[in-house]
Chain A
Amino acid sequence: MHDVAMIAVESQSAPPPKLPPRRGRGRVTLDIRQTISPWKQAGILGGSLAIGLAISVVILDFAGIAPLDLAKELAGVFNADSLRSVLVRAAPLILVGLGAGLAFRIGFWNLGLEGQMVFGGIFATAVSIYDIGPESTRIVLMGVAASAGGILWVLLAYWMKVRFRVNEIISTLLMNYIASYFLLHLLYGAWQDSKTAFPQSSQYRPFERLSDIGSGVNSALLVALAVAAVAAWAVHLSRAGFYMRFISANANMAKVVGVPVRTISLIVIAASGAAAGLAGFVNVSSQEGRLTQSFFDGYVFSGILIAFLSRNDPIIVVIVGFLLAVLFVTGQTLQVFYQIPFTMVQLVEAIIVIAVASSEFLIRHRIRWTR
């Protein structure tokens, strides 16, 4: 029965018209990759990182640093003296990286890391200036005060977000400017060092400074590693870490099934601010030993970079923090010996983030040419 009908139709219809030749050269289509082998993923990531670094080297070449000199400076970072400054630098970088990573984990764009560092520094210095607490526990108290300062400044932004739906990207960035002007108000006013008349606070006393322990390792680094360990436990092992993943995947769903979204968010964001505040204290106490006008410069984007490259994983944050510290110390050397402005570090950071962010597109999609 079927066959007969088919034959009938075929015999009636005219032969199919010849299709006109295709015009154009085809177009690009994107396939969403369902899986990708880890080797390929690492290859794409490594390739784009290499491109980013190559672009940075070319820019530096234009700025007057031959690639060979650059290699020499980079190698020079690994002598004992420079290695010490790398380790000192790494501490605040790891802490801001942790602060950024924690907040990004639940989808809160904490871009106020610099402001939180400033308030961390101010609170800690207030403990020093007003001589609060006995000398033996002074440094602990300063650390606690610094964390409180950071928490205060970040929770203001969180409160504005929850209460008035103020976008935290804008509010935290603006609060950086407010914090830095408040710092200047103190440094040009009540807290100005009476001995030097420079806009900086007076020198911390020895028991208020994070000192070296043994072979050139500063205790600042221990503080950072301890915080990283706690963060790693919270993120990977504790129930809160599971809740955080749930919230970032789907906050509404999490709320519906009974995850305490508000409480977890509050705690995580406060922890983010505390880490940044502590970074401010650690930076001030281990390096200059006094509040300066610009001790926090460039840490917002460094925090974003560390969190982004480490995918908000506290353990990888430590590694990326070290690498970035190498970049910072190299940048300082180039500033001193080649008169390259320190903003160069920011430029290289931005190029690295752009390169890695672009690579994610190639990891997620396959590009094909269809005709």
Chain B
Amino acid sequence: MQDFFINWLANVPGTAAPYAFAALGLIISERSGVLNLTAEGLMLVGAVAGVGTCLTIGNHPLVALVVAMLAASIVSLLFAGLVVILRVNQVIAGLSVVFFCQGLTGLIGTLANWQNHPIAGLNKIAIWPLSEIPAIGRILFVQDPIVYFAIPIFFAVSIFLRGSMLGLKLRAVGENPAAADAAGLSVSLYRIGAIVVGSSLLGLAGGYISVVSVKLWITGMVGGRGWIAVALVVFARWAPWPALAGALLFGCIEGVVPRIAAAGIRAPQYLVLMTPYLATLAVMIWVGARNRGHQGEPGALGQPHVREERR
């Protein structure tokens, strides 16, 4: 029984990391007032770019992750152009970009023959001597470097949003673009910047799944994690640290699924696979039942800003 828990919890940072990065990326772009539903698609872009890099230039996982971030940022320019410059309905634009990416990654993965080719990926490192502590050592100190990298990123984004002038301006654009515009801020520039920077984290989340966790590209491998990340942002009320807590929660739920079979517990496999989605719905209901549905939501979320349009 103790083994079961240690094996499970040792898995959690790896399953939680994609949620954490994706949620953080979404928080950055949504704080600028852009409802960002592109997560599922841009994570796929990151995933295929990561594996593609490893298969093309040899096994350089860190390079692959950087390429994944760049690829997602580049594709996000399409979304930015649609919602910021052309003021397309943000739900329609987000969904279109997701399905665009699903089609594109499926096509690229098949044409380049990257499908089902395992890569060596990134291995876990043991931080000796901390890794020798019983139980805790394996859970906290035998992980891949990217997991540790998440902590400074969360600190940086948290300080950026709450403590820096640029972060303040970004939030002003998200709360009241008309006022921010009057104060001389370029709403379009801030929003495009937030989308591109946030999307690099979505790419990292996708690259993490394919290069670090699964070490393989399979069409559609993100499997709804992007949508769960969107829900996670609502749950976290657009704040970084609660998002990290939520990511750990979902990491625990996702991490237990393979453990159940491995521990020899007989449970209907496909019903067990539903649990992350059911848990997300449960969390959303919990958030709604506590009657704080719109708390923390950026004031102008989902609304395009046209200076010439008087509202």
Pairwise interchain contact B281-A171, C-beta atoms closer than 8 A:
yes
Q: Verify if B185 is at the interface (C-beta below 8 Å from A).
A: no
Identify the closest chain B residue to A157 (Cβ): B281
> Given B228, B288, B308, which contacts A166 in the complex, CB threshold below 8 Å?
B288
Docked CA distance A64–B113 (Å) = 14
B7 close to chain A: CB less than 8 A: no
Q: How far is the CA of A164 from the CA of B234 in the complex (A)?
A: 13
Q: Which of A138-146, A179-187, A233-241 contacts B (4 or more CB under 8 A)?
A: A179-187
Cβ-based interface call for B230 (8 A): yes
Asked if B37 contacts A166 (CB within 8 A), the reply is no
**Option from A163, A164, A188, A357 in Cβ contact (under 8 Å) with B89:** A357
Q: How many residues of A contact B (CB 8 A)?
A: 51
Query: Which B residues touch A347, using CB under 8 A?
Result: 99-100, 102-104, 106-107
As a 0/1 sequence over residues 339 to 371 of chain A, the CB contacts with chain B under 8 angstroms (1 = contact) are 111011111111101100110110001000000
Q: Are A346 and B308 in contact (CB under 8 A)?
A: no
Say yes or no: is A322 at the interface (Cβ < 8 Å to chain B). no
Q: Please state if B273 and A181 are interface contacts (CB–CB under 8 Å).
A: yes
Contact status B95-A111, CB under 8 Å: yes
- Among the listed A59, A160, A304, A346, which residue makes an inter-chain contact with B285, where contact means beta carbons less than 8 Å apart? A160
Q: Number of contact residues on B: which range applies?
A: 35 or more
- A174 to B273: give the CA distance in the assembly, Å: 13
The smallest beta-carbon distance between B36 and chain A, in angstroms, is 12
- Who on chain B is nearest to A345 by CB? B103
- Distance in Å: Cβ of A173 to nearest Cβ of chain B: 5
Contact assessment for B111 and A171 in the assembled complex, using a CB-CB cutoff below 8 Å: no
Assess A308 versus B278: contact at CB under 8 Å? Given A170-B234, A185-B271, A341-B106.
no
Q: Mark each residue of chain B from 71 to 107: 1 if its CB lies under 8 Å from any CB of chain A, else 0.
A: 0000000100010001111011101110110111111
Q: CB distance A358 to B86 under 8 Å?
A: yes
Q: Does A195 contact B (CB under 8 A)?
A: no
- Return the CB mask of B184-196 against A: 1 if under 8 Å, else 0: 0000000000000
B145 at the interface (CB under 8 A from A): no
B228 near A174 with CB under 8 A, answer yes
Given the complex of chains A and B, what is the CA–CA distance between A171 and B285 in angstroms? 10
Q: List chain B residues, Cβ under 8 A from A357.
A: 82, 86, 88-89, 92-93, 96
Expressed in whole angstroms, the Cα–Cα distance for A31 and B308 within the complex equals 7
Please provide the chain B residues from 265 to 311 with a CB less than 8 Å away from any CB of chain A in the complex: 268-271, 273-274, 277-278, 280-281, 284-285, 287-289, 293, 306-309
Answer whether residue B219 sits at the interface, using C-beta atoms and an 8 A cutoff.
Answer: yes
Among A29, A174, A341, the residue within 8 A (CB) of B110 is A341
CB pair A343–B102 under 8 Å, yes or no, is yes
Residues of A within 8 A of B110 (CB): 339-341
B92 touches A177 (CB 8 A): no
- Chain A residue nearest in CB terms to B88: A357
Contact with B along A278-308 (1 / 0, CB 8 A): 0000000000000000000000010010001
Q: Does A167 contact B (CB under 8 A)?
A: yes
Known: A167-B234, A169-B37. Contact between A301 and B274, CB under 8 A? Answer: no
Task: Tell me, yes or no, whether B258 is within 8 Å of chain A by CB.
Answer: no
Q: Bound complex: CA of A109 vs CA of B100, how far in Å?
A: 19
B224 in contact (CB, < 8 A): yes
A188 and B273 alpha carbons, distance in the complex (Å): 14
Q: Are B88 and A167 in contact (CB under 8 A)?
A: no
In angstroms, how far is the closest chain A Cβ from the Cβ of B188? 10
CB within 8 Å of A: which B103-123 residues: 103-107, 110-111
Which chain A residue lies CB-closest to B92? Answer: A357
Question: What residues of B have a CB within 8 angstroms of the CB of A341 in the complex?
Answer: 106-107, 110, 219
Chain A residues contacting B293 (CB-CB under 8 Å) are 165
Complex: A164 Cα to B286 Cα, angstroms: 8
Contact with A along B205-226 (1 / 0, CB 8 A): 0000000000000010001100
Hey, which chain A residues are within 8 Å of B268, CB to CB? 185, 189
User: Is B147 part of the binding interface, using a Cβ–Cβ cutoff of 8 Å?
Assistant: no
Q: Which B residues are CB-close (under 8 A) to A360?
A: 88
Chain B residues contacting A64 (CB-CB under 8 Å) are: 111
Against B, the Cβ 8 Å flags (1 = close, 0 = not) of A57-84 are 0010001100000000000000000000
Within 8 A of B (CB), among A174-209: 174-175, 177-178, 181-182, 184-185, 188-189
Interface string of A30-69 (1 = CB under 8 A from B): 1110000000000000000000000000010001100000
Bound CA–CA A181/B267 (angstroms)? 14
Q: With A344-B107, A346-B102, A350-B99 known to touch, is A174 a contact of B270 (CB < 8 Å)?
A: no
Binding site for A on B (CB under 8 A): 37, 78, 82, 86-89, 91-93, 95-97, 99-100, 102-107, 110-111, 219, 223-224, 227-228, 230-231, 234, 268-271, 273-274, 277-278, 280-281, 284-285, 287-289, 293, 306-309
Extra contacts, 14 of them, besides A30-B307, A160-B281, A181-B271 (Cβ < 8 A), are: A160-B284, A160-B288, A164-B288, A164-B289, A170-B231, A170-B234, A173-B224, A301-B99, A341-B107, A343-B106, A348-B103, A350-B99, A354-B96, A358-B88
* 14 residue pairs A–B, Cβ–Cβ below 8 Å: A160-B284, A164-B287, A166-B281, A170-B227, A170-B231, A189-B268, A341-B107, A347-B104, A353-B92, A354-B78, A354-B88, A357-B82, A357-B96, A358-B82
CB within 8 Å of B: which residues of A?
29-32, 59, 63-64, 109, 111, 160, 163-167, 169-171, 173-175, 177-178, 181-182, 184-185, 188-189, 301, 304, 308, 339-341, 343-351, 353-354, 357-358, 360-361, 365
